[in-house]
Amino acid sequence: MTRLVILGKQGAGKGTQCALLAKHYHIPHISTGDMLRTAVAEGTHLGLQAKAIMEAGELVSDEIILGIVHERLTQADAQLGFLLDGFPRTDAQAQGLMAMLAPNKIDVALDIDVPDDVVTKRMLARGRDDDTPEAMQRRLELYQTETAPLLELFSKGGFLVSVDGLGTELEVHGRVIDAIERNRSL
Ligand code: AMP
């Protein structure tokens, strides 16, 4: 049973590391960003609500996000563990997650640490539709004000593991697995 939360700015390599981790632990990779992008592409009610918010680099409301995560975590494949990517991003989401899981807890909150100038370069190279310079800047700001404080919260709970995100995908993956296993055995 492995319940993981992956933190880290956009462009920190979360997507790549999550794909490797999902394989390693045989758990579903649950990305709120991917779920929202699918909803936008399909033109669902959720997609229509989220589209402009995402394009501006703002955060979709906690209520909507907690609703989609709750629904996803009740599905069969998530009963033996999961990997949450891009969630929680706010204090309300973190509290909501803990309430959803109680009496269980997450095993590890993993922070992939990469400096701002590196993530900006990577995001420009990736060129996703919603990666305008203004939106990227706004996402970094929101990471600092809303998401970075969660590091403290997870650290207090003994869940936080920080890993240097510079290096090749496999170098970082090795560090991530070592750090998760070390923290789990504490
Ligand atoms: P991501 O792919 O995780 O960077 O998410 C892309 C965009 O989706 C973000 O910039 C937000 O607009 C929205 N989003 C994804 N996850 C969340 C979340 N947990 N809370 C609020 N908004 C989110």
Domain CATH for 19: 3.40.50.300
- Extract the runs of DSSP E, i.e. beta strands, from the chain: 2-7, 29-31, 81-85, 108-113, 160-164
pLDDT of 186 above 90: no
Is pLDDT larger for residue 73 or for residue 132?
73
Q: What is the pTM of this model?
A: 0.92
Interval 153-184: pLDDT, tens: 999 999 999 999 999 999 999 999 999 999 87
pLDDT of 92 above 80: yes
Residue 36 lies in a domain: no
**What's the rounded mean pLDDT across residues 126-143?**
84
The pLDDT value recorded for residue 122 is: 82
Cα–Cα distance, 160 to 183 (Å, whole number): 8
**Ligand 1 centre distance from Cα of residue 59 (Å):** 6
**What's the rounded mean pLDDT across residues 135-155?**
93
Residue 170 lies in a domain: yes
Cα–Cα distance, 133 to 186 (Å, whole number): 42
Name the phi and psi angles at 102, rounded to 5.
-50, 140
The pLDDT value recorded for residue 129 is: 67
**Ligand 1 centre distance from Cα of residue 37 (Å):** 9
Residue 37 lies in a domain: no
Residue 74 lies in a domain: no
Ligand 1, residues at Cβ distance < 6 Å: 10, 32-33, 36, 53-54, 57-60, 65, 86-87, 89, 93, 139
Mutation choice for ligand 1 from 14, 16, 59, 137, CB with most ligand atoms inside 8 A: 59
Nearest residue (CA) to ligand 1, atom 5: 33
The pLDDT value recorded for residue 183 is: 87
Residue 62 lies in a domain: no
Atom of ligand 1 nearest to the CA of 90: 20
Please count the structural domains in the chain: 1
Number of H helices and E strands in the chain, helices first, is 9, 5
Mean pLDDT of all residues belonging to the chain: 93
CB proximity list for 60: less than 8 A, separation 6 or greater: 32, 36, 49, 50, 53, 54
Half-sphere exposure of 40 (CA within 13 A, CB side): 16
Mutation choice for ligand 1 from 54, 97, 143, CB with most ligand atoms inside 8 A: 54
Q: Which domain holds residue 169?
A: 2-30+81-184
Say if residues 111 and 32 touch (Cβ distance below 8 Å).
no
The pLDDT value recorded for residue 169 is: 95
Interval 98-127: pLDDT, tens: 999 999 999 999 999 998 888 888 878 877
Mutation choice for ligand 1 from 29, 60, 70, CB with most ligand atoms inside 8 A: 60
The pLDDT value recorded for residue 75 is: 97
Longest Cα separation, the chain: 46
Residue 118 lies in a domain: yes
